[in-house]
Amino acid sequence: TAITMVDPEGALVSIDPTMPTNSPNRAFRINELKTEVTNRLAMLEKRVELEGLKVVEIEKCKNDLKKLRDEMTSRGGGRSMIQIRDVPSYPKYTLSQETIEALKKPTFDVWHWEHNEMLSCLEYMYHDLGLVKEFNMNPITLKRWLLGIQENYRSNPFHNFRHCFCVSQMMYGMINLCNLPEKMTLTDMGILMTAAVCHDLDHPGYNNTYQINARTELAVRYNDISPLENHHCAVAFQILSLPECNIFANVELEAYKQIRQAIITLILATDMARHGEILDSFKHKVDSFDFTNEEHVTCLKMVLIKCCDISNEVRPTEVAEPWVDCLLEEYFMQSDREKTEGLPVAPFMDRDKVTKPTAQIGFIKFVLIPMFETVMKLFPQIEEIMVQPLRDSRDHYEELKQIDDAMTEKKKTENMSLGGKKK
């Protein structure tokens, strides 16, 4: 039985003969302990209260910052808020065999799909190409990463998540059509697909020319050098830096560094200001192309992502034409703002000067067809399914232009005739 003794002041008295007697100063006083604990609790409660107030202040600051960022965003600046939804937040769709086959072709109708369905299609592509296995991806991490990607595309008329899906689906189509897995590594496939998925992340809807002329935050940050493409890269790797979204988490550090650098190279290649430089480089290599030459393969990957990025006119007219309307809407939003802000306006973006045929003919004739015909030297199989539709699209818009010109001429004649009658 344990026996305890206390002195008149409540201090414990040792009754173990091996222990020295407590002095009054060293005694373990219960009342003093209670007072000390009570004081300590009161102090902690006060601190909690103060910290709580700080939390409120921090939240208020965060809200103020968010408002400020949103305001900057509306003025064409950049933002860096990475939003991630919980997983699984979209239903798993069982893709029919018909859809699986259609996904591999440029004729795929991208307008028939909801966001959740597009996410499932992208998820399927990663599994089908063997990328989940190759990079030892956690399938839930892949889902979460795709959700993070989708949430960081803005609701622009053109540069939105559906455009991201279009480019990625065209890349998947070209990988299959050109039998790339037989000629390049699975790592190359992962780089091509991931760069396509990320290539326009957080696009503000105003191009590099606007960013530079308006001296936006992005232009200042990146010294007027491909501000948007640099921003897309930065957001891509901000998302990948989140452990729950890092699809390359199980890749060795050195391999990851190479993958990261390769993805950056491809996304930066989508700046159309570099179009001539990149295509010329590829033209010099294509006649003696060597798939064992790293420089050759890198150049090919840059051209492939460029092809996919601007590939809408490869698609059937009923799929391609709505994209022209979307692009012109985005162009007109920019040119209207440029006029308001006293900035230079490009004629091809001016609603008072451009028409659908004039917007498309030059682009198809001088940008798309030369690039795809150069790729065709290496992959002749793309002629029928990709190059011929471009030629057909050029002819279609030239016919439309002839009709427009005839209508304009008719109006001029009528006006002149009316003018003569008035006199």
- Does the pLDDT at position 29 exceed 90? no
- What would the pLDDT profile of 289-323 be if each residue is shown by its tens digit? 999 999 999 999 999 999 999 999 999 999 999 99
User: How far apart are the C-alpha atoms of 63 and 60, rounded to whole Å?
Assistant: 5
Q: Which residues are annotated as a binding site for Zn(2+)?
A: 163, 199-200, 309
User: How far apart are the C-alpha atoms of 153 and 231, rounded to whole Å?
Assistant: 12
- What would the pLDDT profile of 88-131 be if each residue is shown by its tens digit? 566 666 899 999 999 999 999 999 999 999 999 999 999 999 99
Residue of 112, 159, 284, 396 marked catalytic: 159
- What would the pLDDT profile of 128-172 be if each residue is shown by its tens digit? 999 999 999 999 999 999 999 999 999 999 999 999 999 999 999
Instruction: Return the pLDDT at 78.
Output: 45
Q: Answer yes or no: 159 catalytic.
A: yes
Q: Which residues are annotated as a binding site?
A: 159-163, 199-200, 309, 360
Q: Which residues are annotated as a binding site for AMP?
A: 159-163, 200, 309, 360
**Banded model confidence at residue 263, pLDDT cuts 50, 70, 90:** very high
